Each structure stands twice: as structure tokens, then as C-alpha cells.
Structure 1
Amino acid sequence: MKKVGEGIRHYRKERGLSQEELAHLARINESYIGKLERAEKVCSIEMLSKLTDALEVSLSEFFRYIEPTSKEGNQEITTLELVVNRLRGCSVSEQKKVLKMIDVLLEGI
């Protein structure tokens, strides 16, 4: 459930919403959102549907974000996909820091 919580946090922050604002839009308890984001609670598909509706993202898009699949089917995940998957759990500011580090590293190549 950690990936679900990370996905909720990602889309919430991307839309500039507080936990309270998202709770209001989804008509659920604010503390429940915090517990989902910290993977302290498991949510039903109905609850996830309420949240994704409030975040204006489809369930299929949400699941593609939290569990991307390789375009080659069951083949090994590419290095780029591994990097992207690791960054998914990071905040936007952390992602920007990593991008700056990548830029510095690539200058030397």
C-alpha cells in the first residue's frame, strides 16, 4: 500500500491541495488521507475511486503511475524505468535536486 499512498501524495501535491482540501473534495476524513499517504491504512477500490475523482485522475492513470509496466511485456525493466520508479516516491523539490545532479554529471560526459 506504500505505492498507493505515494501516488495519492504525488497527485495531491501536483494539484496544490492540502490533505484537508482533498478530504473535503473526496468527502472523507482528513486524518484518513494522512494515514493512506503514510501507508498506515489500506483503502478499498471505492475509496480510491473517490480520491482519484477528487484528484481528477482516472483509476487507470493512477495505477499506471504507481505500477508502470514495461512496454516489452514481461521483459526486464529498463534502467530509465528504474530511475523513474525511484523518483516517484520523492517530493517535487527532491526530484528537482536529482535533476540538477544529473545535469552536472552529464556535463562531464
Structure 2
Amino acid sequence: MGVMTQDEQRLACEIGLILQRLRRDKGWTQKTLAQRVAGGVNTTYIGKIERGDQLPSLKILLRLSQALEVSVGDFFYSPMAPPEDATSPVLHLEPLLQALRNRGIDGVALVRAVLDAVGQHVLVAPPRRVDQDAAAQAVRADGRVIPLPMSQHRSED
């Protein structure tokens, strides 16, 4: 992988710390986790993820979550306090989506799996701007529309 952007580096560090905590909660070594991951993962790779030196793909995160018996969404919860008007935990997806865009990953189905895994009790904040062409391409590729909340101040014409 090339040089990570600042957002990718922050996301890699957050995921690494969460992975390390989940692994230690099980009492597992990096080697034990590597052996339990479906399809196999190198122990060195686990170490790189935990140190924030490697931003894992969603496919690898899915395999890690299965081995750890947690939701893949557990890797994306923000430790930040939710907005005052929110009643649910906040999930900050913008850094994840930007990292996916920057790496050119065609992972609509995996992103949807993450959203499905955590979507019931999560406020998903839409991005400040939406790339309509990319959204249309994603819908054509996936065949499913992911609705974004509309403003409640919308007037009826």
C-alpha cells in the first residue's frame, strides 16, 4: 500500500486499537487470531493493523470480526460523544467512505454489510456533498438504493 492520507492514518490507528482490545479481551495472541481467521492471515499483518501501519480491507475486517465473534461494525464506532440532539450512538462513516474512494475499492456490498450490521441503532450522518455520478454507478452495480434522511423542514409544494 502507498502512503496513507491523514484520514486513512487516523482510521487505521482507530481500527488497530479496537482490534487489539478485542483480541486481548479474548485472551488471544496475535498468532492465535491469525490462525482463527478464515482464509488465513499472517501474524505480521495482524501486528501492522494493530499498530496502525496497515489499513485493512473490508473483506479482511469481515474475516477478523467473524474470528473474534463480533460485528464488523464494532470496528467503526466512534468514541466521540453523540450530538446533543441524537438519541443513538453516532457512526462516523465519512473517513471510511473517503478511504474507499481514495483506494478505488468497489465494495458497495461490503459497505452495505457494515451498514446493515450497525444500522438499527446508529445515526448515519450524510456527507456534506454527494457525488451524484458515483451514487448512480453504485446503485447500478448493486441494484439497491441506500436512502439518506431528508430534512424535516422540507415544504410540500
Instruction: Give the TM-score normalised by structure 1.
Output: 0.60
Cα distance in 2 between the residues matched to 1:30 and 1:13: 15
User: What is the distance in 2 between the residues matched to 1:30 and 1:60?
Assistant: 23
User: RCO (CA 8 Å, sep 6+): is it higher in 1 or 2?
Assistant: 1
Deviation track 1:65-100 (CA, whole Å, cap 9, x = no partner) reads xx1461633xxxxxxxxxxxxxxxxxxxxxxxxxxx
Partner of 1:48: 61
Unmatched tracts of structure 1, length 5 or more: 74-109
User: Secondary structure of 2:22's partner?
Assistant: helix
Offset at 1:19? 0.1
Higher helix share: 1
Superposition misfits of 4+ residues, deviation over 6 angstroms = none
* Residue of structure 2 aligned with 1:21, choices 25, 29, 32: 32
Aligned residue for 1:10, secondary structure, equals helix
> Secondary structure at the residue paired with 1:17?
coil
1:1-109 to 2 correspondence within 5 Å?
1-26=12-37, 27-64=40-77, 67-68=78-79, 70=82, 72-73=85-86
Distance 1:7 1:13 in 2: 10
TM-score (norm. length: structure 2): 0.43
- Superposition CA RMSD, Å: 2.2
The corresponding residue for 2:125 is none
Sort the Cα spacing of 1:42 and 1:61 in 2 relative to 1 into closer, same or farther, 3 A. Answer: closer
CA distance in 1, matches of 2:74, 2:51: 21
* CA distance in structure 2 between the aligned counterparts of 1:3 and 1:57, rounded to whole angstroms: 16
Unmatched tracts of structure 2, length 5 or more: 1-11, 87-157
Cα deviation for residue 62 of structure 1 reads 3.2
Q: CA deviation at 1:61?
A: 3.0
Aligned residues, how many?
73
